[in-house]
Amino acid sequence: MLHSVKTRLFAAALCGAMLLTTACGGSAAGGTGSAAASGAGDASAASSGTAETGETGGPKYGGTLTTYTSADPKSFDPAALSAWDQTIVAANILEGLVRLNPEGNAIEPGIAESWEPSEDGTVWTFHLRDAKFHNGRAVTAQDFKYSFERVANPQTASPAAWMLNKLQGFDEYTAGSASEISGIKVVDDHTLELTLTEPYAPFVSMLSSAALAVVPQEAVEEFGDDFGQHVVAAGPFTVGQWNFNQDLTINAFEDYWAGRPYLDSVKFKVINDENTRIVEFDAGTLDIAWITPAHYDRLTSDPRYANSIGRADTLHTSFLMFNMEKEPFASNKALREAVLYALDTQATIDMLQGRASVANVLLPSGMLGSGDPATTPPYDVEKAKAKMAEAGYPDGLPQTFEVITPAWNNNIKILEIYQQNLKEIGINIEIKALENSAYNEARDSGQFEIAWGNIVATYPDPDAMFYPLLHSDNIGAAGNYARYSNPEVDALIEQARASTDDNERASLYQQIEQLVLEDLPYAYLTHNIYVDICQPFVRDYCPSALDVSTYHRVWLDK
């Protein structure tokens, strides 16, 4: 196929990015069946007879799957997406040129059925299939031009605008000296040509982001500021009943290009407390739940769920971040090092029953440039105390520091371990658990000295972690929460983005890792291993390496 060139460019970044060791709702062997793995039309792939069939003899239509989100998503406007609670739902409503596969470790055709680059890798031509918006109108190449320029427009203030900054004419458009992005060309209704300023390795992978989904201009203009609550898009589900801060239902889109989903609907309950989700799962009022440590042994040993436990090594890294613009940590590297050496990350991994791995670097194992997985954290209390003395605080810091975190029970328990670790070397912290929106605001605006943070790749490429978290262009809400700036790191990130040589990119990412470890704006903690549970009747669902589950191939065997 034409898009096979994409495979050559990105295969090394995707291959082995995670291991889906068991999938929910699969066969006795724990597989998801071909319905979840195929890049072809969803319904037709599953109904080919090779998918997990259960007692009924094959996948079937109907029913409502009930799952959860930890907070109300508030908006599904692609240009406004910034939080996990938005993207986990939005990925089922929105769609762009390409989309993530259900496992979250590769891309597959979306509204673009094929694409090819020019010989020099700077011009990408996308061929659109016949697809419809939720309002019934056909999707055209002009709609993509409108959607991309809307995201890039400074007046929109989209946190995803940077994803388009390699398009020719982006700078002129955002500066106001051009009325359009010259690198976006509508050849005809079914052909879109995107011209880049230079070869850009993660480009096609990046287009899978829900933030770059297509929307119709007439709907944006009709709903204005309320478009996010009435979003019209081209994904497999449409927005249904929405009881704010309680629940949200999305309904199967009958005219989805790949055939309507098997499910009639998916209901997302707003449940912030992890243990409450398990209570609801046990009661049968929730069909999928993340397994909390308190219930892990019970649920994973229950024979009823032998084939219903899902695991994924996610493209996720958690860390403590230092505000590099606030003292006393900003200018005192030894103090930051003291914090790093004081943290007993293995104790938190043990608390999580092994559902995390040591993160001594940013990239999770298996990603391009990640190297061998770490087995031993840098925990060393004596070294931490020596660093405190080197920092000028042999007797400890006199003040107490607030460490902000989302109000997730598990996070609080993890931070309580670190709280004791830091107290041992003379650093006193107070855990400040905030509601998600308050946490995001404080994190994005730099209202902290130390904060818990994490990054989950938004597309399956190392650039999805390096560029937002470490490049100085993204200080603040765009992802560089530590407000870190190193011109050498910026230059290496740019070089890695422009290279289409996987070996060169891997080497560049390893150089960046070393420079950042030397500067230490982030104290890396763990890479997440996601473990969830499904009711036994849920079929062809699997957890996503990007923490963004999709439901267009899921069906209920009941």
Q: Which residues on neighbouring strands pair with residue 138, listed in sequence order?
A: 132
* 67-71, 168-172, 456-460, 541-545 — most confident range: 168-172
Element (DSSP H or E) covering residue 99: strand 98-100
Could you say which of 215, 238, 257 is where a domain stops? 215
At 83-108, the pLDDT tens digits run: 878 889 999 999 999 999 988 888 99
Residue with tokens 């040589």: 501
Where b means 16+ CB within 10 Å and e means fewer, 199-212 reads: bbbbbbbbbbbbbb
Once rounded to an integer, what is the mean pLDDT over residues 477-506? 94
Q: What pLDDT score was predicted for residue 409?
A: 87
Residue with tokens 């040509």: 193
Residue with tokens 């994490």: 454
Q: What is the mean pLDDT of the chain?
A: 89
- Is the C-alpha dihedral spanning 234, 236, 240, 242 positive or negative? negative
User: How far is the first Cα of the chain from the last one, in angstroms, to the nearest whole number?
Assistant: 38
DSSP helix/strand/coil, 78? helix
Domain that holds residue 113: 94-215
Contact residues for 140 (Cβ-Cβ < 8 A; gap 6+): 128, 186, 189, 190
Q: What pLDDT score was predicted for residue 31?
A: 32
Domain membership flag for residue 470? yes
Please tell me which residue, 459 or 42, carries the higher pLDDT value.
459
Once rounded to an integer, what is the mean pLDDT over residues 405-418? 94
438 has pLDDT over 50: yes
Percent of the chain at pLDDT > 70 equals 90
Domain membership flag for residue 556? no
Q: Out of 226-240, 345-359, 381-395, 415-429, which region has the weakest mean confidence (pLDDT)?
A: 345-359
pLDDT confidence tier of residue 252, bands split at 50, 70 and 90? very high
Separation between Cα atoms, residue 545 and residue 103, nearest integer Å? 6
Once rounded to an integer, what is the mean pLDDT over residues 46-69? 69
Q: What pLDDT score was predicted for residue 487?
A: 98
Element (DSSP H or E) covering residue 456: strand 450-456
Indicate whether 326 and 180 sit together in one domain: no
DSSP helix/strand/coil, 34? helix
pLDDT confidence tier of residue 3, bands split at 50, 70 and 90? very low
Domain membership flag for residue 20? no
Q: What pLDDT score was predicted for residue 452?
A: 98
**Cβ(461)–Cβ(201) below 8 Å:** yes
Indicate whether 326 and 211 sit together in one domain: no
Indicate whether 469 and 336 sit together in one domain: yes
**Cβ(532)–Cβ(290) below 8 Å:** yes
Separation between Cα atoms, residue 296 and residue 192, nearest integer Å? 48
In 3D, which of 145, 30, 17, 153 has the Cα closest to residue 539?
30
- Give me the CATH number covering residue 445: 3.10.105.10
Strand 400-406 and strand 450-456: the pairing is: parallel
Please name the amino acid found at residue 324: M
Domain membership flag for residue 100? yes
- Which segments of 16-169 does DSSP mark as H helices, in order? 34-37, 42-46, 84-90, 141-152
Domain membership flag for residue 51? no
458 has pLDDT over 90: no
Could you say which of 164, 195, 215 is where a domain stops? 215
Torsion of CA 378, 379, 381, 383, to 10 degrees: 0
Domain membership flag for residue 145? yes
Once rounded to an integer, what is the mean pLDDT over residues 48-53? 36
Q: What pLDDT score was predicted for residue 14?
A: 35
Once rounded to an integer, what is the mean pLDDT over residues 358-381? 89
- The per-residue DSSP string of 495-512 comes to HHHH---HHHHHHHHHHH
Domain membership flag for residue 373? yes
pLDDT confidence tier of residue 42, bands split at 50, 70 and 90? low
Please tell me which residue, 502 or 403, carries the higher pLDDT value.
403
Residue with tokens 């991994």: 349
Q: What pLDDT score was predicted for residue 9?
A: 34
Separation between Cα atoms, residue 143 and residue 145, nearest integer Å? 5
Indicate whether 321 and 433 sit together in one domain: yes
- Give me the CATH number covering residue 113: 3.90.76.10
Please tell me which residue, 373 or 23, carries the higher pLDDT value.
373
Q: What pLDDT score was predicted for residue 32?
A: 28
Tally of domains in the chain? 2
Separation between Cα atoms, residue 455 and residue 52, nearest integer Å? 33
- Which segments of 425-501 does DSSP mark as H helices, in order? 436-445, 463-470, 487-498
- The per-residue DSSP string of 313-374 comes to EEEEEEEEEE-TTSTTTTT-HHHHHHHHHH--HHHHHHHTTT-EEE-SSSSPTTSTT--SPP
pLDDT confidence tier of residue 548, bands split at 50, 70 and 90? confident
Could you say which of 192, 215, 238 is where a domain stops? 215
Domain membership flag for residue 35? no
Indicate whether 322 and 447 sit together in one domain: yes
Indicate whether 202 and 317 sit together in one domain: no
331 has pLDDT over 60: yes
pLDDT confidence tier of residue 366, bands split at 50, 70 and 90? confident
**Cβ(169)–Cβ(180) below 8 Å:** yes
DSSP helix/strand/coil, 196? strand
pLDDT confidence tier of residue 46, bands split at 50, 70 and 90? very low
Percent of the chain at pLDDT > 90 equals 76
